[in-house]
Amino acid sequence: MSNTTKGPFLVTGASGHLGSQVIEALLAEGAEPIVAVTRSPEKLEGLRARGVEIRAGDFNDPAMLGPAFTGGGRLLIISTDDLAPGKRFAAHSNAVAAAKEAGVSHIVYTSLTNPDENSPIGFAGDHRETEAMIKDTGIPYTILRNCLYTDLLLMSGPQAVGAGALYAAAADGKAGYVTRADCARVAAAALLTEAGSSVRDITGPEAVGQADIAAILSEVAGKEIPYVPITRDALVAAMVENGQPEFMADVFSSFDVAIAEGYLNVASGDVEELTGKKGQSVRDFMLANKAVLIGQG
């Protein structure tokens, strides 16, 4: 990866899991100037000494976004994680409007695999509408349609090992799981190098099914962990029983439905094309995180 564009490079959600890794990737490439936009500036004070400018910015407070985006540059809009109906797109709308007002030269946006109108994923519409709004600005863009994070398996994996089986409502479907670290490398590369406008499918090197994941868990745990398909209703009921609010259980279970219906069965070469390095496979990621998966991490 080489810096072929001029900054500043603005990263929103900079104190979050993905945003912080994007900042580190930009610093590793010697990018400058870097502007970290966050609702919690106090969390990023350590970056000031490394030459990063810290600005306060909250997508839910439009008055903050003008000063946060001032000076233009190339902007990464990291999608919010607000699951409340309508709030995510409202927040994104504020960010896109502020980006246009500030005169940013390129927008990079973290979207979702196949967010079309038939997607069963509860917030696919928020991403679809945000993509359309970005396109309507006339600003060059790179839309990164990130598939499911492989990192999520670090939550479901230990549960499966403990239960002795992997339960999911994904039938025989597959998903192009991609690590958060690879998504961060891609976002940094897009900020640094992408010209024109494009839509990218950001996935792992291959799509895998729940049976594949169960086989890797069996290898990691040293015991048989079968995959047991269940219904969505059963999955939601189990989530609620374990303390998950019903509306959140409904959203999370929609990912399994999307896998079952083939919406996430995508594996592209865009990670390698953008960064020069292949993405990490699910198996390699799980083997590298064996201690977490077997409850020792």
| Model confidence pLDDT, tens digit, residues 127-164 | 999 999 999 999 999 999 999 999 999 999 999 999 99
Residue 252 maps to a domain: no
In the chain, the number of structural domains is 1
Torsion of CA 145, 114, 228, 172, to 10 degrees: -120
Residue 22 maps to a domain: yes
Residue 82 maps to a domain: yes
- Rounded Cα–Cα distance for residues 219 and 6 (Å): 47
**pTM score of the predicted model:** 0.95
Residue 254 maps to a domain: no
Both structure tokens of 40: 């919690």
Residue 1 maps to a domain: no
Question: Which structural domain, as residue segments, surrounds residue 24?
Answer: 9-147+178-204+266-279
Residue 191 maps to a domain: yes
| Model confidence pLDDT, tens digit, residues 172-195 | 999 999 999 999 999 999 999 999
Query: Using alpha carbons only, what angle is made at residue 169 by residues 166 and 128, rounded to the nearest 5 degrees?
Result: 125
CATH of the domain at 119: 3.40.50.720
pLDDT at residue 85 in the model: 63
| Model confidence pLDDT, tens digit, residues 236-292 | 999 999 898 988 899 899 999 999 999 999 999 999 999 999 999 999 999 999 999
Which pLDDT band, with edges at 50, 70 and 90, does 122 fall under? confident
Residue 272 maps to a domain: yes
- Which residues, 6 or more positions from 26, have their beta carbon under 8 angstroms from its beta carbon? 9, 11, 34, 188, 191, 192
